[in-house]
Amino acid sequence: MLATAFVTFLGLLLVTFVIGRLVPVDPVLAVVGDRAPASTYQRVYLELGLDKPLYTQFWMYLTDIFRGDFGESVLTKRPVLQDIARVFPATLELATSGVLIGTLLGIPLGVLAAVRQGGISDQIVRVIGLIGYSAPIFWLALLGLLVFYANLGWVSGPGRVDISYEYDFTATTGILLLDTAMQGRWGAFGNVFSHLALPASLLGYFSMAYISRMTRSFMLTEMAQEYVIAARVKGVPEWRIIWIHALKNAAVPLITVIVLSYMNLLEGSVLTETVFAWPGLGMYLTNSLQNADMNAVLGCTLLIGTSFVALNLISDLLYRLLDPRVRRRA
């Protein structure tokens, strides 16, 4: 399993390297600018190793990556790894909050829809899920800002924290809810929570639509199994059959669904971060693309791909822990 993850990671490195060489952006001009003299251009060209064969360039690329050197951002003039370390916690906080909301709501709704298959509860849950699939998230984000921020004033607006609270605490981990709670800055905590509530709820709704649908499907399969019929014949209470026996077996494939949903939120929160001016990886990647900052773009791509590999590995480990049949086959 670890060997597969390592090979996948090497393949990801190869893909990002090829992307960096195929995009129609001159990496030298990105560094020196289009008004630099020819001598400067040639010097940087040699320093970047672009005169060497592709396999040598790839080896240099691998060496730099394993040393933690992702290059320097043209936009910020700082190391890309330093920039990513600064912005990724914001995306992590947003995506984690979203998947927690989606899981806590999606599983009960999916179970309810399966138990009441064909009934009004089932229809309502399926319609809610359908809207979550169909409505563009940037449209829901703009609508949410208009209703809950501009009109009702229930939540704070774009950004992560108001400027009046920005210097009230130290961003130790970069996850502001955690930082403010650990430092006992409850006023700042409330402000951070108010900023987080709306974008996290929207991502949670998007995640809930997927999780509830898959939970319903898994539960319908489990409820048709012979062990459920046998439990009913024995007089086991219906709530115990549903929430203990059937859901326990459905939890095994649900782990993969939740992990996939988390991956999608980590990777796909670009539009949400843009609408809410959320200073995370998505906004950093968008700005880098607009400015042809390829070191930053490839660094972000590599981070997202590595996150996918790591979460898949965690999913497989959890799958083995929850399902003894998988352990026996292994």
Is residue 72 predicted with pLDDT exceeding 90? no
Q: Which residue has the higher pLDDT, 135 or 215?
A: 215
Contact 169, 183 (CB under 8 A): yes
pLDDT average, residue stretch 64-78: 82
68's enclosing H/E stretch is none
Reply yes or no on whether the pLDDT at 234 is more than 90. Answer: no
Domain, as residue range, for 24: 2-66
Model pLDDT for residues 288-298, shown as the tens digit of each residue? 877 777 788 88
**CATH code assigned at 203:** 1.10.3720.10
Q: What is the pLDDT of residues 130-143, one digit of tens each?
A: 888 788 888 888 89
Core vs surface per residue 157-191: b (16+ CB within 10 A) or e: ebebbeeebeeebebeebbbbbbbbeeebeebbeb
Residue 308 lies in a domain: no
Identify whether residues 44 and 106 lie together within a single domain. no
Q: Is the pLDDT of residue 200 over 90?
A: yes
Rounded to an integer, what is the distance from CA 48 to the centroid of its chain? 32
56 and 114, same domain (yes or no)? no
- Which pLDDT belongs to residue 326? 56
Domain shared by 111 and 227, yes or no: yes
Mean pLDDT, residues 49-71: 80
- Both 272 and 193 in one domain: the answer is yes
In a domain, 195, yes or no: yes
Q: Is residue 322 part of a domain?
A: no
Q: How confident is the model at residue 112 (pLDDT cuts 50, 70, 90)?
A: very high
Same domain (yes/no): 125, 23: no
Per-residue pLDDT at 324:
64
Tell whether 81 is covered by a domain. no
Q: How far apart are CA 45 and CA 187, in angstroms?
A: 52
Looking at the structure, do residues 265 and 208 belong to the same domain, yes or no? yes
Asked whether residue 313 is domain-assigned, the answer is no
SS3 content of the chain, % helix, strand, coil (to 5): 75, 0, 25
Helix (H) or strand (E) holding 91: helix 80-115
Same domain, 123 and 246: yes
* Model confidence at 21: pLDDT above 80: no
Total of domains in the chain: 2
Count Cβ atoms within 10 A of the Cβ of residue 36 and give its class: 0-12 exposed, 13-18 middle, 19 or more buried: middle
Same domain, 102 and 205: yes
| pTM attached to this predicted model | 0.85
Give a yes or no: residue 94 inside a domain: yes
Query: Are residues 117 and 203 both part of a single domain?
Result: yes
158 and 55 fall within a common domain: no
Residue 327 predicted with pLDDT over 80? no
